[in-house]
Structure 1
Amino acid sequence: KQIICHKLPMEADGIVRLSKIEVYPEFLDEYIKYAVEVGEISLLTEPGVLTMYAVSEKDNPCKVTILETYASKAAYEQHIASEHFQKYKQGTLHMVKSLLLSDQIPLNPNSHIDNVIRRLY
């Protein structure tokens, strides 16, 4: 079953961002739990969070990249003010060795990702 809340359209001030995170190895498993939780809650409850797709490098799983897209700057600001994001941010501060936020420009603005959560019930 696919679960997703109604999503807002991408606005002119929408954000496409790559968050590049390096996690200390001793915290990797705990960090992943936080990242999965905040990603799922964001997609399920925030209409302005369009994509929250986290991956780690196969050869170095402590290097995590998250593709995040937000319908607008306001949607991003709502997201970072949310209780679930603040729980993630405060809970993982000591786990993160480095963080680089890199805003992107889509090469094909007509293309988009439908990011959904799939669960078996």
Structure 2
Amino acid sequence: MTKLEYPPLFRLYELEIKPEKKAEFVALGQRNLSLSIKTEPQTLALHATHSDEKGLENLIFELYQDTAAQKRHQASPQFQKYATFAKNAIVNRKVVDLIPELLLEKFDFLGKGTPDKITVKLAKLQLEKASAAAFKAAVFSEMHQAIVLEPGVLAMYAATVQNRPDEWIFLEFYQDKQAYAKHRETPHFKEYIKKTTDLVAKKELLDLTADTLVSQGNLNYERGGK
């Protein structure tokens, strides 16, 4: 993997969609993301998912090399068409600015498209005060081992919420449910749980359904890494 020297721009959009607008919203989103990843080298990854059965609670994760790359994406024709439609499709909108902590992808992550049975997991953690350093060391060790040792682990992102360093967000991609189950039984995952159980004050786990996932692949960034 080629390490990024500077932290990329990472942002989460939480969007509630009108039921009657859902199908067109997903279609325009797919077009926007698919064209953008092919024509914008500095757009690193774009992931559109939803968390509810009806597909109305959307979570969209965006990674850009920098602010300039995001602005180029937002000026593209495909994004402009999507954004124009989205104005009348979105009921509620929340933007969460994230600070990348560790971003790891397999070399060919999504290189052959989105696997039919891909499993996407989101975790939101609130740490106990003064536990950030110990937690970071444990989670970095676990993620590095997972991406190297487990074929079914496709990508793992860890970030903190801007201006809230005790709030962590994890976005993880597995080949399928079986790969996720195997991951939870590995020695490195169990060691991570052992070391961090007392460091976490609150945890929320969500199963996400993939709508459109795209990435340049081979993403590798570590905050404070060598």
Tell me whether the two structures share a fold, i.e. TM-score over 0.5. yes
Residues 46 and 79, structure 1, Cα contact 8 Å, conserved in 2:
yes
Q: CA separation in 1, counterparts of 2:171 and 2:145? A: 16
Residues 49 and 76, structure 1, Cα contact 8 Å, conserved in 2:
yes
**Matched residue, 1:54:** 158
Shift of 1:94: 0.3
Residues 109 and 155, structure 2, Cα contact 8 Å, conserved in 1:
no
Q: CA separation in 2, counterparts of 1:37 and 1:53? A: 13
Shift of 1:25: 1.7
**Matched residue, 2:205:** 101
* Superposed CA offset, 1:40-70 (max 9, x none): 1111111101111100012111100000011
Residues 56 and 63, structure 1, Cα contact 8 Å, conserved in 2:
yes
Question: TM-score by structure 1 length?
Answer: 0.83
Q: CA separation in 1, counterparts of 2:216 and 2:153? A: 12
Shift of 1:93: 0.3
Aligned counterpart in structure 2 of residue 79 of structure 1, from 183, 187, 200: 183
Residues 54 and 67, structure 1, Cα contact 8 Å, conserved in 2:
yes
Kindly report which structure 2 residues correspond to 1:1-121, keeping only aligned pairs within 5 A, or say none. 1-2=1-2, 11-109=115-213, 111-112=214-215, 114-117=217-220
Residues 108 and 218, structure 2, Cα contact 8 Å, conserved in 1:
no
Name the SS of the counterpart of 1:26 in structure 2. Answer: coil
Q: Which residues of structure 2 form unaligned runs of 5+?
A: 4-105
**Matched residue, 2:30:** none
Name the SS of the counterpart of 1:16 in structure 2. Answer: strand
Shift of 1:13: 3.5
> Would the alpha carbon gap of residues 118 and 61 (structure 1) be closer, same or farther in structure 2, given more than 3 Å must change?
closer
Paired AA for residue 152 in structure 2: G
Q: CA separation in 1, counterparts of 2:108 and 2:215? A: 15
Residues 51 and 114, structure 1, Cα contact 8 Å, conserved in 2:
no
* Superposed CA offset, 1:61-94 (max 9, x none): 1100000011011111110100000000111000
Name the SS of the counterpart of 1:61 in structure 2. Answer: strand
Shift of 1:116: 4.3
Pick 1 or 2: higher relative contact order, CA cutoff 8 A, min separation 6.
1
Q: CA separation in 1, counterparts of 2:151 and 2:193? A: 20
Structure with the bigger percentage of strand: 2
Q: CA separation in 1, counterparts of 2:161 and 2:202? A: 15
Question: TM-score by structure 2 length?
Answer: 0.47
Q: CA separation in 2, counterparts of 1:31 and 1:100? A: 16
